[in-house]
Amino acid sequence: MSKLTGWWKNRSSAEKVELYTRWSCHLFVLLEIVSFGLLPVAVEAPEQPAVALALFLLVCVHAVLCGFVYSRAMDWVVGRRERPVRLAFTVGTLTAASVVAVLVLRRYGVLSDPAVAPQLIAGMAGFGSGALVMCLPSVRQMRYVGPAYSGGTGLVVLALGLSGAEALGYVVGMLISTVFFSLACGFTNWLLKTVWELDRSREAQSRLAVAEERLRFGRDLHDVMGRNLAVIALKSELAVQLARRDRPEAVDQMIEVQRIAQESQREVRDVVRGYREADLSVELDGARGVLSAAGMDCRVDFRAGRTLPAEVQSALGWVVREATTNVLRHGDAQNCLIRLTAPQDGAVTLVVENDGAPPCPAGPPGSGLAGLRERLAVLDGTLQAGLVGGGRFRLCAEIPSAHVQGLEVRA
């Protein structure tokens, strides 16, 4: 069963929306054929089978072409192909020609039932205008499609010598049909484009966060090392000059260079230690903010009956950071629970649970969980991670009570 549903569950939210939209538009092909292509077959076939067959084939060709245009237009919207200008021109021309052909058949009495022509014209014009709208880049251009088809149809009706009342009926019917499909397809384009833009923005935010952290780390190192290296260079040059003159002060300068170098080592270690340490309260707030910004319902449940030492905070902070990254990167979670329990006389437990987990992880396993287990092992802690049923994934970190004492942590 997991293999049958994996093709859906393993997709991102944007891919799911696109897949649903594509199949909805492809159903338009079947809907046009069933709703309007079979109409002349049911009405005209007993008396004029050749005309009924010709109209049925015309509707089928028009529906298939519109379906092809729907697909290419969506590829253009999401940025995979160029805009299908030729296909848009083809479907617009075929729709107009089909409307004129049906009106000619109506004018010269080839169609025995007068209700067949209006329904065929409204149906093909509606689906055709929807396909044409999906190929247009702006709303200003989209809004002219329906009125253009409606006004053109009214002029053709009058040119064929039909009554003004009938021309008005065609114009109103065409306007309702074309405007409805234009709005539906235009909204489809907007929705698909917006979903993909949000998905790309989410990825861009993740990359920017990583780049910002790298810049911060590089800036800290520059601040620490820049001044000290400049001093070392100057004092080394001074020591060289003094040594060439056999001055005893050269030794003092080299001793000072050694002292500055050792101080620089300590400062670099402090920077790296601060970079590697994770503050638990900051990570909890950050996880809640990041997951909420990603559209998830994130709830942080903090139950502390005792204070936590710095090493415990750092280890659990890294668990929260890695778990948050996994929730964002894997699956399609809608809600996430982060529960931290620190009772007076028991082990500290951190649980991160989310829904939308894929049944089978995509790609090779990463090293994040292994790194967390190594960090927790220093505190005799354990880490368990896996599916718990219902498409939910649970990560549970536990640190024994012996290591829980000292500083207070706030959520």
According to the model, what pLDDT value does residue 2 have? 47
Closest CA to 352 of 381, 398, 316, 394: 394
According to the model, what pLDDT value does residue 100 have? 92
Asked if pLDDT for residue 364 goes beyond 60, the answer is no
Distance CA 380, CA 269 (A): 25
Distance CA 323, CA 77 (A): 34
Mean per-residue pLDDT over the chain, rounded: 81
| DSSP secondary structure code for residue 302 in this structure | E
Distance CA 383, CA 371 (A): 10
According to the model, what pLDDT value does residue 411 have? 39
Q: Which residues of 95-128 are buried (b: 16+ CB within 10 A; e: fewer)?
A: bbebbbebbebbbeeebeeeebbbbbbbbbbbbb
Domains in the chain: ranges and CATH: 7-202 (no CATH), 208-276 (1.20.5), 280-403 (3.30.565.10)
Helix (H) or strand (E) holding 245: none
Mean pLDDT, rounded, for 355-379? 73
> pLDDT digit string (tens) for 119-134?
899 899 999 999 999 9
pTM: 0.57
Choose the weakest-confidence range: 57-61, 62-66, 307-311.
307-311
Mean pLDDT, rounded, for 339-356? 86
297 vs 267, which has greater pLDDT?
Answer: 297
314 vs 118, which has greater pLDDT?
Answer: 118
> pLDDT digit string (tens) for 193-252?
888 888 787 777 767 766 776 776 676 676 667 667 777 787 788 888 888 888 888 888
User: Which amino acid would we find at residue 167?
Assistant: A
